[in-house]
Chain A
Amino acid sequence: MSTTLDRPLERAPIDRAKPWRFLGRSADFWLCAVATIAVLLVQAWNIAGYPRVFDDEGTYLAQAYAIDHGLGMTPYTYWFDHPPLGWMQLSLLAWIPEAIWHSPGQLVVAYARIIMLPFTAASCILLYVLARRMTLPRWAATLAVLLFGLSPLSVTLQREIFLDNIAVTWILAAFVLAYSPRKFLWSHVGCGLCAGIAVLSKETMLLAVPALFVAVWQNVDKRTRKYSYVGFIGAFLLLIVQYPLYAILKGELWSTGGKVSLIAGLTYQLSRPGSGSVFAKGTNAHDVLHNWLFYDPVLIVAGSVALVIALAFRHLRPVAIAGVVLVLTAIRPSGYLPSMYIIQMLPFFALAIAGLADQLVAVILTYRARPIFWQQLARLAVLLVCIMLAFVYVVPRWYSGDKNADTQDLNTGYAEAVEWVHTHIPHPGDQRIVVDDTLFLDMLQDGFKPSRYDIYFFKLDVDPDVMNSLGGSEANKWKSIQYVIETPYMWENAPQSYTTEKILNNSTVVWYYGSYPPNSIAGQNSDVEIRKVIP
């Protein structure tokens, strides 16, 4: 009856573990805290210097800026490229870099990366809790956090302002809630909500949602199962549906004649030119994979193998399914492979490896074990050798990778370019500058007005708002632009745009960073150049 709640509950195995406390806190607290702080220290050190600022980082941050300053979803026309919940969260955290750095000479995007640290911290903690709820022992849960956060691949990618990192935090929260030890109905509803936030932060996270079904299935009781599923699915769908609803309210669900709309955005994403197979040399996908492998082959190879094996173990199966679906999607022969896609796999790699390590240790120590001293000693020796081998193989690689990440500064060129603009064009008035998105916010800070005067080069010839503000006939619109900051990214993509080509061809270099002589568009002759357009 209602008042008999004090009858003993069946506890999850983790609750039965022997308590171990220090300074009033549990062993779990200390292990999780130490691992998380270690990850944060390695990731925070030199965060602005490495890796080189990436165009998408600037794009998302500029969109967060737009929300923060009431300019709408983006500084330009929002074209439903991604659901906006990711940069809405960034805008909520945008006060963090502002509170710590004020100096105008620093690269905005690079320093804003500290926004990602709270997400990384949350992901580490959630990963630990999830591992424990999956009945992994404490050491394996700690191992999972360290694998997840200390791989040079993680240190590089988790620092960057990518929507994927935000989505990872939320999908981990969803998994943690799916594994509610009390099989609490509202945890399963919360699981659906978190999954919804994850998908609205980065739509590709949809691939991990089927695995949540399995996770919930493993963690419900027959008596309340129906309601748990209704709550989980209902909450997920009701949240997701807000996105098309937003499009409807804006009258932009579908469109004709090249106008922006949700359907057009989805069609674009689904029909993006394929980047080929990861296994075929010379394809984009192959390059992307090798770029990942350059940072860390260990986590990728061991993680992929571990995911497949983990399918065989019931307690690892949900995360294994999530990871395997993500990996299979990445290696499908055609289709577009974004260069930050691997971020979503990292927690699943880490969990699968830690889970299998736990299994392996159990086999070495207990399989057909007898209480004979020499046998036990031999087992311990084997275990020790395994640990040593793994240590010797992994630690030097990761040390050198993480050392690069914590010492190299790849953003000097960008920072000096910003500094030059700041000292030479302090009050630009109505002058126009074309940049790639990494420098968009710096130019804003310098006094260029948003959107129409501080122009993201990808919007040239595409966004009617931008083009209409440039005077003259179509062929001569480029003459309204005064400056352009050329970066390797712009150089690569310039051929797609008539106006970009035009201004790069009709300009002189006024400042450059790099070791080659400037003045030639034919090669990637410098890291960064500032050019003055000569009409």
Chain B
Amino acid sequence: MLAAAVLVISIVLFSIATATLWWMMHAWRTPEVFESTTFVRPDGGTGLSITLMLAIRQERQDVVENTVQKMLESDHDNFDIVIITGSDDPETTGIARRLAQIDPTRIHTVIDPHHRNKATALNSALAAGVCQGDILGVFDAEDVVHPALLSHVDHAFLTENADVVQGGVQLLNFYSSWYSLRNCMEYFFWYRSRLHLQAEKGFITLGGNTVFIKRELVEPTDPDAQWGWDDTCLAEDCELGVRLSSAGKKTVVAYSPEMVTREETPDTLKSFVRQRTRWMQGFLQVYRKGDWRQLPTRRQRLLARFTLSTPFYQAASGLAVPVGIAIGILAKVPMVVAMISWLPAVPMFLVLAFEIAALRDFGKEYYGKDQPDQSHKVNFGTYLTLIIGMPFFQIVLMFSALRAVWRELRGHQDWELTKHVGAHLATPAPTSATSSV
């Protein structure tokens, strides 16, 4: 009986781990695929107008100001910025108003009258009618936008005939702690590799920022139909992606290291767990909402199930693999079963090996010899941390998953906000600009 259980669980885990590995390594499948994951250089094909939406809440002035300054440096010639704050947060609203004076023609402010979360903020901006661009781009308070990003996105919309463009997002403060390093690598694989395959297969969960959407897709047109972002969902980005995919909209993903939006990991393990809990609960909500059932093909629906439950079996396998191996060694099971209990460890170790290789690329692309930021180096200790951190990170993910299920079952659906301290900003925002507003 025990043997049969170990056998079944091992084979299931092996299949899951192998599938995860396959998805994770998509970008490096062939040199052509790797080439195709980056932005194409815009050669004339631009001409759309873009509205950048920036929902902020209880942010520090220097953080937001740096973000807005960087946006204004963009080489695109037709864009504006909408800063959204909550009615219950007059201090941040004050910051927004001061920032708007830098360039009143380009920067608009909107106050969300019933602020609950990012989705209500974005929706109130849509309802207020200040978003006039053909394309809406969503960013977060601490995002550093590359000056060339908008023209590349514009080009992508035109040449690829896209409805949605998801740009790369990369966490950078790998040096902050052991879980930051693991979190950075997660993002690296997610944006550099996995999302591309999701887009190709026609089912994608969008990221929270550096997302560009045709305005007509989210604007309120038909009063009965759902519009904008779902403010009851904890992962409104994922929800929107699933809704648009299910409606057959085409998403294009592009990752160029020099153009990714640079972000930071949550500053404490506690806030990391909160953020992860929120995402996982959000995934759970999207799964339960069931928009994905409208996907045309069976394969896509299967992929939807697989994707939306990823956090949960990932967490489960973190627990089950060691237990399976322990049973294989300690309990009296036939030799074949004991050998098979080891099977899931094979793709798991391959994942670790690929993570080590990717860490080298990560270090080169963001902190390498010819990069402007030389403040931190990926060294032997970093690799060691990555290896040793693997089981502990699994435990954290597992804990977050259990917490998400618990909260969902108990009906806790409030938004646990993540605080940003600006650890990824190599240099603080220039003080002259700060004093000018």
Chain A residues engaging chain B, CB cutoff 8 angstroms: 1-5, 7, 9, 182-186, 189, 221, 223-224, 226-228, 230-231, 233-235, 238-239, 242, 245-246, 249-250
Taking a contact as CB atoms closer than 8 A, the residue among B30, B39, B339, B353 that contacts A182 in the complex is B30
Query: Is B197 interfacial (CB-CB < 8 Å)?
Result: yes
When C-beta atoms are compared, the residue in chain B nearest to A249 turns out to be: B338
Binds A, one of B82-90, B123-131, B342-350: B342-350
A223 touches B31 (CB 8 A): yes
Query: How many B residues touch A, CB cutoff 8 Å?
Result: 42
Chain B residues engaging chain A, CB cutoff 8 angstroms: 22, 25, 28-40, 156, 160, 196-197, 199-200, 250, 252-254, 328-329, 335, 338-339, 342, 345-346, 349-350, 353-354, 356-358, 360-361
Taking a contact as CB atoms closer than 8 A, the residue among B160, B196, B200, B335 that contacts A250 in the complex is B335
Contacts of A1 in B (CB 8 A): 36-40, 156, 160, 196, 252-254
When C-beta atoms are compared, the residue in chain B nearest to A72 turns out to be: B335
A224 to B160, CA, bound (A): 25
B200 touches A2 (CB 8 A): yes
| Known contacts A185-B29, A234-B349: A5-B36 contact under CB 8 Å | yes
Given A1-B39, A5-B36, 4 more A-B residue pairs with CB atoms under 8 Å apart are A3-B36, A224-B28, A231-B25, A242-B339
Contacts of A233 in B (CB 8 A): 353
A224 touches B31 (CB 8 A): yes
A227 touches B354 (CB 8 A): yes
A230 touches B40 (CB 8 A): no
User: Main secondary structure on chain A at its contact with chain B?
Assistant: helix
Contacts of B28 in A (CB 8 A): 185, 224, 227-228
Ranked 4 nearest A-B pairs via Cβ: A221-B31, A2-B196, A227-B28, A234-B353
B335 touches A249 (CB 8 A): yes
A33 to B35, CA, bound (A): 37
Contacts of B353 in A (CB 8 A): 230-231, 233-234
When C-beta atoms are compared, the residue in chain B nearest to A222 turns out to be: B31
A182 to B35, CA, bound (A): 13
A235 touches B36 (CB 8 A): no
When C-beta atoms are compared, the residue in chain B nearest to A227 turns out to be: B28
- Report the minimum CB–CB distance from A499 to chain B (whole Å): 31
B357 touches A227 (CB 8 A): yes
B25 touches A227 (CB 8 A): yes
| Known contacts A9-B32, A224-B34, A249-B339: A230-B356 contact under CB 8 Å | yes
Cβ contacts A to B, 7 pairs, < 8 Å: A1-B254, A4-B36, A5-B36, A185-B25, A221-B31, A238-B350, A245-B339
A228 to B156, CA, bound (A): 30
A250 to B196, CA, bound (A): 45
Contacts of A7 in B (CB 8 A): 32, 36
When C-beta atoms are compared, the residue in chain B nearest to A221 turns out to be: B31
Contacts of A231 in B (CB 8 A): 25, 350, 353-354
When C-beta atoms are compared, the residue in chain A nearest to B251 turns out to be: A2
Contacts of A3 in B (CB 8 A): 36, 160, 199-200, 250, 252
A9 to B356, CA, bound (A): 29
